[in-house]
Structure 1
Amino acid sequence: MAKSSVLGYPRIGENREWKKALEAFWGGKLEEEAFESALRELRLKHLRKQQEQGVDYIPVNDFSYYDQVLDTAAMFGIVPKRFAYSGGPVPLSLYYGMARGTEDATACEMTKWFNTNYHYIVPEWDGASPALTENKPLIAYREAKEKLGIEGRPVIIGPLTFLKLSKGYKEEEFDHWLAKLLPLYVQVLQELEQEGVAWVQIDEPVLVTSVSRSDIERLKKIYNVFGTEAPGLKIMLQTYFESVEAYSDIVQLPVQGIGLDFVHGFEGNVASLKQYGFPIDKVLGAGVVDGRGIWKASLRTKLNLLEMLSEIVPAGRLVVQTSCSLLHVPVTVSQEEKLGSELRGALAFADEKLDELVVLTKALQAGETAVAEQLHSNELDLAALQQSEARNRRDIQQAVAAVSAAEPRRGKSFAERHVAQQNKWQLPILPTTTIGSFPQSAEVRKARQLWRKGDWSHEQYEAFIREQIDIWIGLQEEIGLDVLVHGEFERTDMVEFFGEKLDGFAFTQFGWVQSYGSRCVKPPIIYGDVAFAEAMTVEETKYAQSKTKRPVKGMLTGPITIMNWSFVRDDIPREGIAYQLAYALRQEVEALQTAGIGMIQVDEPAVREGLPLKKRDQAEYLAWSVKAFRMTTCTVQDETQIHTHMCYCEFHDMIDSIEAMDADVISIETSRSHGELIHSFEENTYKLGIGLGVYDIHSPRVPRVEEMTSMIDRALEVLDPGLFWINPDCGLKTRGREETVAALHNMVEATQLAREKLAVEV
């Protein structure tokens, strides 16, 4: 008989209780015991919800105090030596120190979790002495069983994936560290086996990326060891986000179940099943409910897929699953009372996806007639949105088709533009600037709330925003920055702000998801054709420019980032959505230029986040992503300087695409991985303007002048000083005023020292 399973559940809570508890604890407003109690209550609530919905296999150890990869590192004592760790269970102070930094030690690097908008803390092996500090999956299993009577399925990140996502070792040392790690995993599994655990879920998402023959041999060794040392424990080897590579090898591994993604890896996984079949002694975890998207599944389509799979795998060996953890979607649609009925009826967040799992499983068990009412209602809901006016705007579709048919280009080459821009702006060598946003204080957030609630008039709110702009224009001049920004005090979020002003978007009230740490975002929903309605940023930017003689950058979020940081419609290709966004944003760029703004930053921090996991698909994605950016910016004058910004990424494999964007200046978020990016520029020549972030804004610590001087000196070994800019590595929205001013003062001082050094060398 078919069963249902969830691979992971959102940890943040329906009303972000998790985030609030973390920040209260960090701020000293919540004692550790009360903090632990608050998270325990939330964790049990989530388990109870899945239990009541009737899910058969409920995950445990998917709940985290910050990040699941950091949890794994802490469990195995993988702590960077700069934190002076002496062994034993990792205390919360050290755990959060690794994530956020301390006064004496910089935080661990943070990067994206495959091609999602979730970011994990990168484990560092330099100086590590691996040891099992505590069996976190066992603790989670016991809690669920003792408190709720749930026979949970512990979730663990697999050793191959964990090591592949780590840093601090040489490639030739991989097997050495794997040998250190394997006995620790064995100990975890043996203790779970002794406790009576039936199934354990071992996540190996790295198997959907390129897998070498060496990796296959490692997998065989790993899972042979697991099967030998913990023979009574059933292993569900779980993959997600794409189709598995080396399918025929992976399904022969000595495990009792294989989990495959039949949403984002549909074509590849179905093709592999049809070509190679599936072992008769294994369970197939069929990930048919989308764990990353927010749209209702077409239940009849999913049921047809499951029935096809049942012809290959007997129903008794079929588990109906989410395609991945539900970490990536909001908690529930039930609170979204302000959305239109057409849209609301087509949405499914985490709780609604539990319903879908149960309905599909019931249909397999008892036949379609048992769920006929749900199937019919589902079809009506999906058809209503598809036939809506919002999805059928012929004027926009035709205009975008015409614009995207041409190849977007600036009027002159970068070299020619650079001369014109230097003549216009007369900036010093190593110009200083920031990425765009300044601290959004409690006062700023309160003012926005008063305005949104109607307690403040538009005029009151506008006056308040102008006061903030006045303050920070003055502070930037006092600090000595060369190129200023207005601070973005009117903006809630760099994507939400633009979505609220463009047609084709909708916004939830409670649709929060975790991005990194306690940072939660409420992604817009692109549900219809996107269109420009009116100028979005001109008023505030023009006002800021009127308050200073120094240049003020106009600040926009680029088309690919808006797309990648939104929940997008799934009825047209993502390329088409990108071009609609680009066409709308082009009109805003032109409006800024007309208003006299001669520097315009079009941020694309999420370009690489959308990079397909399969290398064969990456060139096509990068090509249309670059085209969308150039569509946005290509119509400006030669003297207008286009900036862009990108976040934590490994850029060495897309330097050519970054250069092809043809931005006059790009700033890159690199402070946690500065050396790695510098190495990329040692191997690849970059001929456009560039700023490598010289300090980490995700940590509250104020970096010393010497730290930033060292980063600047290192960058200037491989980059042209005439094209190099100095900036923080990201926006300063989440920081406090005092630390921001202090850090920027230090940045300007470090820049001045670098200028003096260059003058001496010349």
Structure 2
Amino acid sequence: MKILLPTSTAGSLPKPSWIAEPEKLWSPWKLEGQELVDGKNDALRLCLDDQVRAGIDIVSDGEQTRQHFVTTFIEHLDGVDFEKREIVKIRNRYEASVPSVVGAVSRPKSVFVEEAKRLRQLTDKPIKWALPGPMTMIDTLYDGHYKSREKLAWEFAKILNQEAKELEAAGIDIIQFDEPAFNVFFDEVNEWGIAALEKAIEGLKCETAVHICYGYGIKANTDWKKTLGEEWRQYEEIFPKLQQSNIDIISLECQNSRVPMDLIELVRGKKVMVGAIDVATNTIETPEEVADTLRKALQFVDADKLYPSTNCGMIPLSREVANAKLRALSAGAAIVRNELLNKQ
């Protein structure tokens, strides 16, 4: 039976403190060798259990086996040198030391498929799996080979398509591409970014999603948000073309953000994953606050197409806070679900 307002998370969930330092991006592993392999498997099970206990309907791996949502995928590709690093500005916001593209990029073997199979064996719930989108991948690298953002994005799109097809075959129900870069490079998004994303989903039969947010609750992002004015209208630049695309679900940030809710009207007809949990604060939303965000969204998206979610990944939060927020998400969705069912 199809659930009305199925809840999910946008991406990462906090890792247990025995595998990596909590509340920290890029946190190094505390284990190595076989202990790390076992630890990742244990973390995956624990993360699934946390989601099920919190009442999350569409579960994920919580990115428990990866250090970072972009670079862990890139580490498995040929053509990228992690020793040869350059300083680049990521999403026009902050500088970072990143690996270099030194030759033709390719994927010698699948990256996440074994973990996906493992998660599929552990649950019969629908699973959503996140991959970095092509534009966000190129924004996290120094390209000394193709010397063209568009060409490199196209190559990554082909690689992502190979991975996505294997994830689908492993039993994944929704494949999500994370594209925070879509909130920054509007001309490129419309010129070739959405086309590259469509290349990445080519031939898939499972549902596909694109997640476009304003980033983790780290200082570089919160500082940037302060410069965006009273209304955050970035989505307005890209939603019309996304509405015409083959992507099934648009995932966006709504809770405590200055995104005008009526912008969702621009993707009318698509399923919408509405971020109803703020990941940039330790304050736990009340179920009623979550319900209020969802009610506002329902003015612009049909109930059967609304998927309550979190704004972004939750890796910078403690497990305790993240779990409490997930419980609030489920409880808030339940309030609105009951309201809708009682109207029928």
Structure number with higher helix proportion: 1
Q: Distance in 2 between matches of 1:511 and 1:444?
A: 29
Letter in 2 for 1:665: I
1:639-695 Cα shifts (integer Å, max 9, x gaps)? x11122011261112211222332211211232335x3312235x351111012112
Q: 2:211 aligns with which of 645, 649, 672?
A: 645
Q: Which residue of 2 aligns with 1:353?
A: none
> For the Cα contact (< 8 Å) 1:440–1:734, is it kept in 2?
no
> For the Cα contact (< 8 Å) 1:668–1:693, is it kept in 2?
yes
Q: Which residue of 1 aligns with 2:29?
A: 449
Q: Secondary structure at the match of 2:279?
A: coil
Q: Distance in 2 between matches of 1:515 and 1:636?
A: 30
Q: Distance in 2 between matches of 1:734 and 1:521?
A: 18
Q: Distance in 1 between matches of 2:69 and 2:40?
A: 16
Q: Distance in 2 between matches of 1:514 and 1:575?
A: 17
- Structure 1 residues 545, 742: CA separation in 2 closer, same or farther (over 3 Å shift)? same
Shift of 1:706: 2.1
- Structure 1 residues 685, 622: CA separation in 2 closer, same or farther (over 3 Å shift)? closer
Letter in 1 for 2:236: H
Shift of 1:571: 5.3
User: Given the alignment of the two structures, is residue 670 of structure 1 paired with residue 254 of structure 2, yes or no?
Assistant: yes
Q: Which residue of 1 aligns with 2:300?
A: 718
TM-score, normalised via structure 2 length: 0.85
Letter in 2 for 1:644: V
Q: Which residue of 2 aligns with 1:709?
A: 291
Shift of 1:603: 1.7
Q: Which residue of 1 aligns with 2:204?
A: 636
Letter in 2 for 1:678: M
Q: Distance in 2 between matches of 1:666 and 1:685?
A: 8
Shift of 1:610: 2.4
Q: 1:489 aligns with which of 55, 61, 64?
A: 64
User: Given the alignment of the two structures, is residue 575 of structure 1 paired with residue 150 of structure 2, yes or no?
Assistant: yes
Q: Secondary structure at the match of 1:504?
A: strand
Identity within the alignment, %: 25
Q: Which residue of 1 aligns with 2:74?
A: 499
- RMSD of aligned alpha carbons: 2.5
User: Given the alignment of the two structures, is residue 680 of structure 1 paired with residue 263 of structure 2, yes or no?
Assistant: yes
> For the Cα contact (< 8 Å) 2:86–2:100, is it kept in 1?
no
1:473-492 Cα shifts (integer Å, max 9, x gaps)? 11111111110001212211
> For the Cα contact (< 8 Å) 2:194–2:245, is it kept in 1?
yes
1:551-587 Cα shifts (integer Å, max 9, x gaps)? 2222211111101232233753211111111111111
Q: Which residue of 2 aligns with 1:415?
A: none
Shift of 1:493: 1.1
Task: Give the number of the structure with larger relative contact order, counting CA–CA contacts within 8 Å between residues 6 or more apart.
Answer: 2
The correspondence of residues 537-686 of structure 1 with structure 2, limited to 5 A, is 537-569=112-144, 572-611=147-186, 618=187, 621-637=189-205, 640-648=206-214, 650-674=234-258, 676-682=259-265, 684=266, 686=268
TM-score, normalised via structure 1 length: 0.40
> For the Cα contact (< 8 Å) 2:133–2:179, is it kept in 1?
yes
Letter in 2 for 1:681: I
Q: Distance in 2 between matches of 1:755 and 1:621?
A: 35
Letter in 1 for 2:125: R
> For the Cα contact (< 8 Å) 1:604–1:646, is it kept in 2?
yes
Q: Which residue of 1 aligns with 2:334?
A: 752
The structure having more radius of gyration, on CA atoms, is 1
The correspondence of residues 276-287 of structure 1 with structure 2, limited to 5 A, is none
Structure 1 runs, 4 residues or longer, greater than 6 Å off? 509-516
Q: Which residue of 1 aligns with 2:54?
A: 479
Q: Distance in 2 between matches of 1:724 and 1:663?
A: 15
Shift of 1:510: 8.1
- Structure 1 residues 488, 608: CA separation in 2 closer, same or farther (over 3 Å shift)? same
Letter in 1 for 2:64: F
Q: Distance in 1 between matches of 2:256 and 2:145?
A: 35
- Structure 1 residues 574, 512: CA separation in 2 closer, same or farther (over 3 Å shift)? closer
Q: Secondary structure at the match of 2:309?
A: coil
Letter in 2 for 1:687: G
- Structure 1 residues 734, 511: CA separation in 2 closer, same or farther (over 3 Å shift)? farther
Structure number with higher strand proportion: 2
> For the Cα contact (< 8 Å) 1:472–1:487, is it kept in 2?
yes
1:360-408 Cα shifts (integer Å, max 9, x gaps)? xxxxxxxxxxxxxxxxxxxxxxxxxxxxxxxxxxxxxxxxxxxxxxxxx
- Structure 1 residues 513, 704: CA separation in 2 closer, same or farther (over 3 Å shift)? farther
Q: Distance in 2 between matches of 1:563 and 1:603?
A: 12
Q: Distance in 1 between matches of 2:325 and 2:311?
A: 12
Q: Distance in 1 between matches of 2:14 and 2:96?
A: 17
Q: Secondary structure at the match of 2:272?
A: strand
> For the Cα contact (< 8 Å) 1:438–1:487, is it kept in 2?
yes
Shift of 1:761: 2.0
- Structure 1 residues 651, 757: CA separation in 2 closer, same or farther (over 3 Å shift)? same
> For the Cα contact (< 8 Å) 1:433–1:482, is it kept in 2?
yes
Unaligned runs of at least 5 residues, structure 2: 22-26, 215-231
Q: Which residue of 1 aligns with 2:311?
A: 729
